[in-house]
Amino acid sequence: MKTRNLFVISALAASVCFAAEAPAAAAAETPAPAEQVKAAEAPAAEQPAEPAAEPTVAEKCLAAVENAGKAIPSNAVTAKFTYGEALANAGELSYALEKDPESATVQTLTANCDTYVKLIAAQAETQALRNRTAENWEKRAATARSIEAIQEQINQARSGKMNDLEAEKAKLQDQGARLQAEMQQNQEKFQAEAAAQQAALKAASKREADLQKQQADLQKQLEAEKKALAEERAKAEARQAEAMNKLNELQSKLIQVTKDARGIILSMSDILFDVNKASLKADLKTSLAKVAGILSVYQQFNVSIEGNTDNTGSAEHNMKLSQQRADNVKNFLVEQGIDAGRLTAKGLGMTMPIADNKTKEGRQKNRRVDLVIQDKALQQIAEPAAEPAAPAEGAAPEAK
Question: What are the pLDDT digits (tens) for 151-161?
Answer: 888 777 777 66
pLDDT of residue 165: 66
Q: How confident is the model at residue 18 (pLDDT cuts 50, 70, 90)?
A: very low
Which of 259-263, 311-315, 357-361 shows the lowest mean pLDDT across its residues? 259-263
Distance in angstroms between the alpha carbons of the first and the last residue of the chain: 121
Q: Are 246 and 257 in contact (CB under 8 A)?
A: no
Give whole-number Cα distances, 355 to 350, 351, 373, in Å.
11, 12, 22
Question: Of all residues in the chain, what percent carry a pLDDT higher than 70?
Answer: 78
Pairing of strands 263-269, 368-375: antiparallel
Which of 17-21, 173-177, 215-219, 379-383 shows the lowest mean pLDDT across its residues? 17-21
**Dihedral, CA atoms, 143, 149, 155, 158, nearest 10 degrees?**
-100
pLDDT of residue 59: 87
Q: Per 3-state DSSP, what percentage of the chain is helix, strand, and coil (rounded to 5)?
A: 70, 10, 20
pLDDT of residue 67: 93
Mean pLDDT of 4-27: 36
Q: Cβ neighbours of residue 230 under 8 Å, at least 6 residues apart?
A: none
Q: Residue 336: is its pLDDT beyond 50? A: yes
Which of 229-238, 261-270, 381-390 shows the lowest mean pLDDT across its residues? 381-390
Verdict on whether the full-model pTM lies above 0.75: no
Classified as helix, coil or strand, 76 is coil
Identity of the residue numbered 51: P
User: Element (H or E) spanning 117, and its range?
Assistant: helix 104-159
Beta bridge partners of 303: 343, 373
pLDDT of residue 241: 77
Q: Are 227 and 104 in contact (CB under 8 A)?
A: no
Pairing of strands 301-308, 343-347: parallel
**What are the pLDDT digits (tens) for 113-128?**
999 999 999 999 999 9
Residue 125 to residue 378: CA distance in whole angstroms:
46
Closest CA to 284 of 298, 296, 268, 264: 268
Q: How confident is the model at residue 283 (pLDDT cuts 50, 70, 90)?
A: confident
Which of 34-43, 106-115, 252-261, 360-369 shows the lowest mean pLDDT across its residues? 34-43
Q: Residue 166: is its pLDDT beyond 80? A: no
Closest CA to 114 of 220, 214, 225: 214
Residue 203 to residue 33: CA distance in whole angstroms:
35
pLDDT of residue 381: 62
pLDDT of residue 10: 39
Which of 89-93, 283-287, 381-385 shows the lowest mean pLDDT across its residues? 381-385
- Other beta carbons less than 10 A from residue 11's beta carbon: 21
Mean pLDDT of 325-339: 93
Q: How high is the mean pLDDT of the chain?
A: 79
Q: How confident is the model at residue 54 (pLDDT cuts 50, 70, 90)?
A: confident
Give whole-number Cα distances, 239 to 250, 264, 294, 297, 300, in Å.
18, 12, 11, 10, 9
Which of 83-92, 211-220, 330-339 shows the lowest mean pLDDT across its residues? 211-220
- Other beta carbons less than 10 A from residue 85's beta carbon: 15
pLDDT of residue 390: 43
